Amino acid sequence: MPQQGLGQNNFELNNPGKRSQEFPTPKSEFITNQEISSNAVTRSSVDDVELLLGSSHISRELTELVLETINSTISHEHQLNEIPQEMLLEIEELHAEKAEPELIGQAYQKLGNFYRLRIEQGESNLENIMVAIIAYQEAITQDDSSSNVPDILNDLGTLYWMLYRTPPNTDEGQSYIEQAIEFYKLALKLIEPETHADTYARVQNNLGTAYGDLARFINQQENWEQAVFAYNEALLFRTAQMEPMKYAACQNNLGTAYWHLAQYQQPMLHLQKSIAAYKQALIYYTPNVEPLKYGMIQNNIGTTYWNLAQYQSGAENLLLAIDAYNEALKFRTAAVIPTGCAATQNNLGTAYWHLANSPQTAKKERQKYLEKCIIAYDEALALAHSLTGVTLSFDIFATHNNLGLAYYQLATEQHFNLNRAQRSQHLEIALENHLIALNALGKQPLAYQNTFNYLVKTIRAFHSELGIQGQNLALSKVPAHLLPEILPKL
């Protein structure tokens, strides 16, 4: 993962604007909610299976997928496992009787609804998704004039979006998202927002989510622009008075989209709009109702203020970022969400470092902010190293380097008036952190070289601050195999 060097003293950021912003995965929403009847007559037999496999009316792919889901599903309600096969037999009979396309379409939609319900209940495996997709597509093929077509198109979009997120389909992710977008667009052409405001807003929200995912693959700026447009369009018809929590979710999605768009164009404008959207979401994601979402959005507001500080009102926006991070940490605790707590502590450390080095910060305040930076980084690293088997949203070895650089600055800035023992202690901790990072970065040439340079710089500071005795102390802590490369640089 790339690291950025920003600010003074070659400070090596985890790029909190991109690395530790924690966006939730927006959820595409289904619309159709027809009830699934469970009173079908069960008549499963070998003959029925052979009949279905030999059908010239139903696609063999659909039949085989349905049978596979039956065989792989273990249910205490045996009858529930029989239902999809009964539905296929009903479809076969309707075809054989040359029933009206409308009736055949309804039967396919009923099959799709059955599998969509399974998916909504947590069984979002590849087979269930594919059965729902094929069944819904057949429903539209049979009756494309049904009043249910817009709902089915939305659900097809959502199913393709889910297909993108279902292993092992990541290699084909872009094509699945593009297909989802096409279905959402087709649905929107058939929906009158004035008379079906809820459905229209839901599909626009889903479209925004899909464009955000497509931006991971191609045309980042264009796709984030499309996502922003879709979310704003959804909010015209999804008001806080109608559905406050869905309104809040859409505002949160919009805040995320504006943040991403700010990385490509008009950063100040779009970062400000991102903050405004996040704050709208917080009106409803209150600590009492949604403490984890509240904490996550406060973390994202902090990061957005941190980004904004790079363009305007540096110290003021950094203080706002720090306030937001501290508010987030009230709810993103080590006990409740350790990875989130570590990420926010890491972000807080970075914000304090920038505030310490802001031209607008008085010299007498700089030491205080550096010390707070160190406390936050120490908290982040202690928590990160205590976790196993989890994925962190920041690079802990970049944080070790950042902590080392903060200690280096604390030891070497003369106006801090530290005594010799304090300077020595700070430099020893800086050296220790750079060595930890160096030991872990052997397979990352650029990061390794940057860390090696920090190491040399710290050893030189031992000499300049503490004399030859200090340099010898530093060299005694360096692994022997590094000395031949370090000594010529001193």
Q: What is the CATH number of the domain that holds 394?
A: 1.25.40
Within-domain flag for 388: yes
What's residue 420's pLDDT? 93
Give yes or no for residue 291 having a pLDDT over 60: yes
Domain count, the chain: 1
Q: Is the residue at 85 inside a domain?
A: no
Q: Is 119 within 8 Å of 157 (Cβ atoms)?
A: no
**How large is the average pLDDT for residues 318-325?**
98
The mean of the pLDDT values for the chain is 87
Please check whether residue 220 lies inside any domain of the structure. no
pLDDT more than 70, % of the chain: 86
Question: In this predicted structure, what is the pLDDT of residue 97?
Answer: 86
Q: Is residue 55 part of a domain?
A: no
pLDDT average, residue stretch 356-376: 95
Residues in contact with 490: Cβ distance below 8 Å, sequence separation at least 6, in sequence order = 456, 459, 460, 463, 471
CB count within 10 Å of CB 337 equals 18
Q: Give me the percent of the chain exceeding a pLDDT of 90.
A: 69
**75 burial type by CB count under 10 A (0-12 exposed, 13-18 middle, 19+ buried):** exposed
* Angle in degrees, 0-180, between the axes of helices 60-72 and 78-96, rounded to the nearest 10: 170
Which structural domain, as residue segments, surrounds residue 361? 330-490
pLDDT tens for 212-270 read 999 999 999 999 999 999 999 999 999 999 899 999 999 999 999 999 999 999 999 99
pLDDT tens digits, residue range 2-41?
222 223 333 444 443 344 455 555 666 766 544 444 443 3
pLDDT value at 419 more than 80:
yes
46-63: pLDDT as tens digits: 444 554 554 557 788 888
Average pLDDT over residues 174-203: 95
Q: Please report which confidence band the pLDDT of residue 424 belongs to, taking 50, 70 and 90 as the band edges.
A: very high
User: In sequence order, what are the residues at sequence separation of 6 or more whose Cβ sits closer than 8 angstroms to the Cβ of residue 381?
Assistant: 396, 399, 400, 403
Tens-place pLDDT, residues 128-155: 999 999 999 999 999 999 999 999 999 9
Residue 293 lies in a domain: no
Report yes or no on 387 lying in a domain: yes
Examine residue 372 and state whether it is found in any structural domain, yes or no. Answer: yes
Domain assignment present for residue 27? The answer is no
Average pLDDT over residues 189-216: 95
pLDDT digits (tens, 9 = 90+) for 77-108: 555 667 888 888 888 888 888 889 999 999 99
- What is the spatial distance between Cα 44 and Cα 51, in angstroms, rounded to a whole number? 11
Rg (CA), the chain: 29
CA distances in angstroms from 79 to 36, 41, 49, 409, listed in the order given: 13, 9, 16, 71
